[in-house]
Amino acid sequence: MGTRVAVIGAGSWGTAVAAIAASRTPTALWARRPELAADIAIRHCNTAYLPDVRLPPSLAGTCSLEEAVVDADVVVMGVPSHGFRDILTSAAPFLGAGVPVLSLAKGVEQQTLKRMTEVVVDVVPGRPTGVLTGPNLAKEIVAGQPAASVVATTDEALSSELQQLLSTEVFRVYTNPDVVGCEVAGALKNVMAIASGMADGMGFGDNTRAALITRGLAELTRLGVALGGQPMTFSGLAGMGDLVATCISRQSRNRHVGEQLGKGRTIEEITAEMNMVAEGVKTSRAVVDLADRVGVEMPIAEQVVAVLYEGRKAAEVIPALMRREAKPELHGLG
């Protein structure tokens, strides 16, 4: 593998990954806003998303996609799913032949119901692609707290190279060839985190949260396996690990959205106050549509969509789920 990395998207997680890469190799971080790119390049900080973090002086900030991508040996896409295709399309003319494209996004494209690696194939065919995913809260990563992640590609040699590039003494990266399972788990766990947050906002306790997380894992597994993922993926870091972190952490944007919904606020009020995207809000409907396409039952995700888009109140979600027909616990787990 070459020596230059381009990270596209200077949100909290894109910045964290860029900081990790910059500790190993020359790295450029693209920010849409010139003032944020200047902060990264000159003051070595991301004032918008990680204001208390000192970034490596070796990390270059730029607002030019051409400058970021043109000589890159690896391109990491750290932009949300709803803007992924457009930004990659803008970067495509500067992307070298055969350069791997690694996705950090945890969502499904709303119009096409495609995963991000499928979008990469659409926009820049012929490039190796994969995903980095897991229980990775950006503030903890940049603070140097121990954490683990998964890099999933179908190319064993590329997985190994990315693993070495992104691993540090406190950030352990595992490999997994199950790209489909890792991407589905990453997208759907955000929807489950909204449901978990709703329960928190309504004042329910740990029993309710545990039930939602466990049944949420069943939904992740059903959909992922139906789409071609491997069952074991959902019991690992990309599945259960990320699901637990996102459903319980006060740092989770998706759990926060759910909590505020559970307190009776509207989604418009909540998102108007946020400076970062909660992927589950936009992904939820696409995930349910995808499940309908393959005939998979997704009761929790369906209730989240009903609250976000169909005018249902969060206070109705748990009662609606509890009134469902009782079934064997392992029904439909694959």
CATH number for the domain spanning 170: value is 3.40.50.720
Task: Assess whether 173 and 184 both reside in one domain.
Answer: no
In a domain, 329, yes or no: no
Entry field: residues in the chain: 334
Domain stop point among 177, 194, 221: 177
Query: pLDDT by residue (tens digit) across 109-132?
Result: 999 999 999 999 999 999 999 999
According to DSSP, the residues that pair with 133 across neighbouring strands are 150
Instruction: Kindly tell me the burial class for residue 221, based on how many C-beta atoms sit within 10 Å of its own C-beta (0-12, 13-18, 19 or more).
Output: buried
Task: Based on the fold, state whether residues 197 and 171 are members of the same structural domain.
Answer: no
- Residues 198 and 186 both lie in one domain: yes
> Buried (b) or exposed (e) across 58-69, using 16+ Cβ within 10 A?
ebbbbbebeebb
**Pair 49, 150 in one domain:** yes
With a cut of 90, say whether residue 259 has pLDDT above it.
yes
Domain endpoint, select from 177, 201, 226 = 177
- Please report whether residue 334 resides in a domain: no
The reported pLDDT for the residue numbered 316 is 87
Please indicate, yes or no, if residue 224 is contained in any of the structural domains. yes
Distance CA 14, CA 239 (A): 20
Same domain? For 19 and 154 the reply is yes
* pLDDT at residue 328, rounded to an integer: 76
The proportion of the chain whose per-residue pLDDT surpasses 70, expressed as a percent, equals 98
**Residue 230 domain flag:** yes
141-151 confidence digits (pLDDT tens): 999 999 999 99
Nearest of 176, 240, 188 to residue 219 by alpha carbon: 188
CATH of the domain at 188: 1.10.1040.10
Q: Residue 97 pLDDT > 70, yes or no?
A: yes
Q: How confident is the model at residue 199, as a pLDDT? A: 94
Number of independent structural domains in the chain: 2
Residues 259 and 295 in one domain: yes
| Residues 146-205: tens digit of each pLDDT | 999 999 999 999 999 999 999 999 999 999 999 999 999 999 999 999 999 999 999 999
- Domain limit, last residue, from 177, 203, 229: 177
Structure confidence by residue, pLDDT tens digits, 210-253 = 999 999 999 999 999 999 999 999 999 999 999 999 999 999 99
Is the domain of 19 the same as that of 150?
Answer: yes
DSSP 198-249: HHHHTT--HHHHHHHHHHHHHHHHHHHHHTT--GGGGGSIIIIIHHHHHHH-
Do 88 and 227 lie in one domain? The reply is: no
Cβ proximity of 278 and 247 under 8 Å:
no
Confidence label for 263 from pLDDT (cuts 50, 70 and 90) = very high
Q: Is residue 262 part of a domain?
A: yes
Residue 1 has pLDDT above 90, yes or no: no
Asked if residue 137 and residue 205 are part of one domain, the reply reads no
Q: Give the separation between CA 194 and CA 197, rounded to whole angstroms.
A: 5
> Is residue 328, in this structure, part of any structural domain at all?
no
**CA 220/CA 181 separation, integer angstroms:** 9
Across the chain, mean pLDDT equals 94
Same domain, 155 and 225: no
DSSP strand pairing (129-133 vs 147-153): antiparallel
The CA distance from 194 to 76, in Å, is: 27
Give the pLDDT of residue 201: 95
- Among candidate residues 189, 263, 313, 327, the one labeled active-site is 189
Both 159 and 19 in a single domain? yes
Work out whether strand 59-62 and strand 5-8 pair parallel, antiparallel, or are unpaired. unpaired
Tell me, what's the pLDDT at 327? 73
Amino acid letter, residue 258: G
What pLDDT was estimated at residue 334? 44
Confidence of residue 2 (pLDDT cuts 50, 70, 90): low
Q: What percent of the chain is modeled with pLDDT above 90? A: 90
For residue 148, the SS3 value is strand
Q: Residue 234 is part of which domain span?
A: 180-322
Q: What are the angstrom distances between the C-alpha of 281 and each of 191, 201, 208, 224, 295?
A: 7, 17, 21, 19, 22
66 with 21, same domain?
yes
What DSSP string describes 38-105? Answer: HIIIII--BTTTBTT-PPPTTEEEES-HHHHHTT-SEEEE-S-HHHHHHHHHHHGGGPPTT--EEE--
263 flagged as catalytic: no
